Amino acid sequence: MIKQITAAALLAATSFAASAAEPTNFYVGADVASTKIDDLSTETGFGLFAGYKIDETFAIEGTYRKLGDFDVFGTEKVKGTHISASVLASMPVADQLAVYGRLGYGRAEFKGDGGKDHLNRALFGIGLNYAITKEVSARVEWQKPASDASIISLGVAYHF
């Protein structure tokens, strides 16, 4: 199913790009991610994000992420979600390639048969962004939303 979501997002992004005018500073995107939480498991999830590019260096971004269904000591499945707001700072390293850093704040929520719990934490990350066209970009990112969790994601964005 994740492959189908990714394929649909890529298809939608590239079809919009063909008919779009010069892009503005707004962008939206989707990604597929692997989330590892220490002492639990590594799960595959997806994320949706939207942002605004302030200038060539800085952007602000909001993200919603379904982290996956984690096994807790083999006795219970816990569903995790994460929302965050971040500032991104990027620097070009080649014509269409930029490295970026992320600093933000997020809220993770975990729900299972035993109830629910949440965690509010600062987060940071680093990534690479490749501009396929003026309107479409792809990115890979490593993110640290908590001391015992890490996320690796692969995504695509459409720039309005």
pLDDT computed for residue 114 by the predictor:
83
Q: Which of 26-30, 57-61, 88-92, 114-118 has the lowest mean pLDDT?
A: 114-118
Contact criterion met (CB below 8 Å) for 127 and 142: yes
Give the pLDDT mean for 8-31. Answer: 66
Q: What percentage of residues in the chain have a pLDDT greater than 90?
A: 74
- Beta-strand relationship, 76-92 and 58-72: antiparallel
Domains parsed from the chain with CATH numbers: 2-159 (2.40.160.20)
Radius of gyration of the chain from Cα atoms? 16
Q: Is the pLDDT of residue 8 over 50?
A: no
pTM: 0.83
Q: What percentage of residues in the chain have a pLDDT greater than 70?
A: 86
- Name the one residue in this structure whose structure tokens are 């600093």: 103
Instruction: Tell me how many degrees the CA angle 19-8-25 measures, rounded to the nearest 5.
Output: 50
Q: Which of 12, 41, 40 has its CA nearest to residue 28?
A: 12
| 74 phi, psi to nearest 5 deg | 75, 5
pLDDT tens profile 76-118: 889 999 999 999 999 999 999 999 999 999 999 999 988 999 9
